[in-house]
Structures are given as structure tokens and as C-alpha cells.
């Protein structure tokens, strides 16, 4: 972990030199959150805060932050695109917590799945994926995103398959949905990128 943080710090220093002090603040916040996720006197993941912090750092910080270090500013489209990406990544955590709900309960790890139950966790997963896909058409209609962004909808069959697994399986059988949701995030993002490129060419 410390080697990873050290390498991230070195890369962060270069990005800070290029993009300014904001990168330092975001980077330090990300490192602190990663350490305190399961460590320290108030581990975030043990008090139902994991979902929120995953969304903040794998959604807002990752998408908008990546845009910022390259463009020197953050466009409305970059802010909005952090929403679907962040939600799908939260879905990965939801599946993980749903799979481990019994062992987490015994270990005293109070994830949202433990505190609010399996039905809530399954509903949260469905909500995350539905919002990720259905936020795109309104954003296109408002001209925040180009219509080519809807190419990301080609990943919808995979999302449907994963949702069925989450609702029908338990325990280790949820590993398929765990890895699959990561693949969904990649496919969704890649298709979105292709849609942007095709829009620019036209």
C-alpha cells in the first residue's frame, strides 16, 4: 500500500506542477480516504460511508479531475459524466457488500447492506445502474452531452444480465456480478468515448 501511495505521490507532484495546487488537495484527500476506509479510529467502510466516498473519488474526482489536469478547467459535461461512471463504480461496492453481508455483520462492519438489509442493497444496485443509463438522454436533450453519448446504451444488455445475477444469486455466486460490473464500467466508458469521437468527426 505504501509503495502504491509513494508512486501516486510522485505522479501527483508532476500533475500538480502542470495543473496547480488543486491537484495536491484532491490527491491528499484521496490518500487519506483510502487509508481511513478500513483503518483509523473511524473506518469509513465500517459505518456505511463507503458508498458515498467511492462515488466522490471514483466518480467526481476521477472524471472531473482527469479532465481538469488535461484542460486546466472543468466543463459542465465533465461534471455530469462523473455521475454515471461514479454510480456504476458504486455498484461494484454494492455487490461486494451484498456478497459479504453475513461475514461483515459478524465482523461488526456496518455497511449499508448490513444496516438496511439485502433488499435495500439489491435496490441500490438497480438504482445505480438505472440512473447511470437514464441520465444520458436528458443531458443530451439539454445539449450538455452530444447525442453520440447514447452509444453507451449498447452496454445495457450486460447491465440487465448483471442485475438478474444480483437479484437471483447469493454468496460466492455474486462474484460473477462483481467482476461483471467492473467490465460494465469499462464497456460503458469505452462506448461513451467512441460516441464522443464520432460526434466530433461529424
Q: Is residue 196 part of a domain?
A: yes
In a domain, 17, yes or no: no
How far apart, in whole angstroms, are the C-alpha atoms of residue 52 and residue 5? 22
Burial class (CB in 10 A: 0-12, 13-18, 19+), 74: middle
> How many angstroms separate the Cα of 30 from the Cα of each of 14, 53, 138, 169?
16, 9, 31, 33
Is 6 a residue whose pLDDT tops 90? Answer: no
Mean per-residue pLDDT, 58-86: 92
Residue 104 located in a structural domain: yes
Residue 25 resides in a domain: no
Does residue 115 belong to any structural domain of this protein? Answer: yes
Cell of 176: 460473477
Residue 190 lies in a domain: yes
Give the least confident one: 32-36, 73-77, 154-158, 172-176.
32-36
98 pLDDT above the threshold of 80: yes
202 pLDDT exceeds 80?
no
Domain of 104, in residue numbers: 76-201
Instruction: Look at residue 47 and tell me if it is in a domain.
Output: no
Instruction: Provide the CATH number for the domain around residue 196.
Output: 1.20.120.1780
Does residue 1 surpass a pLDDT of 80? Answer: no
Q: What mean pLDDT comes out for the span 25-30?
A: 86
Whole-number Å distance between alpha carbons of 4 and 171: 30
- What total number of domains does the chain contain? 1
Region 17-41: what's the mean pLDDT? 84
Amino acid at each position: 500500500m505504501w509503495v502504491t501511495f509513494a508512486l501516486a505521490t510522485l505522479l501527483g507532484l508532476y500533475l500538480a506542477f502542470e495543473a496547480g495546487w488543486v491537484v495536491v488537495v484532491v490527491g491528499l484527500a484521496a490518500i487519506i480516504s483510502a487509508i481511513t476506509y478500513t483503518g483509523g479510529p473511524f473506518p469509513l467502510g465500517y459505518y456505511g460511508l463507503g458508498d458515498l466516498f467511492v462515488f466522490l473519488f471514483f466518480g467526481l474526482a476521477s472524471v472531473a479531475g482527469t479532465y481538469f489536469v488535461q484542460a486546466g478547467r472543468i466543463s459542465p459535461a465533465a461534471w455530469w459524466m462523473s455521475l454515471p461512471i461514479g454510480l456504476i463504480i458504486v455498484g461494484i461496492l454494492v455487490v461486494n457488500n451484498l456478497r459479504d453481508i453475513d461475514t461483515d455483520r459478524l465482523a461488526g462492519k456496518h455497511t449499508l447492506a448490513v444496516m438496511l438489509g439485502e433488499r435495500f442493497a439489491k435496490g441500490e444496485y438497480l438504482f445505480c445502474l438505472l440512473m447511470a443509463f437514464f441520465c444520458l438522454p436528458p443531458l443530451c436533450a439539454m445539449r450538455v452531452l452530444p447525442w453520440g453519448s447514447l452509444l453507451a446504451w449498447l452496454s445495457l444488455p450486460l447491465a440487465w444480465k448483471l442485475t438478474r445475477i444480483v437479484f437471483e444469486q447469493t454468496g460466492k455466486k455474486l462474484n460473477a456480478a462483481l467482476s461483471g460490473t467492473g467490465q460494465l464500467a469499462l464497456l460503458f466508458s469505452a462506448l461513451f468515448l467512441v460516441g464522443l469521437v464520432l460526434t466530433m468527426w461529424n
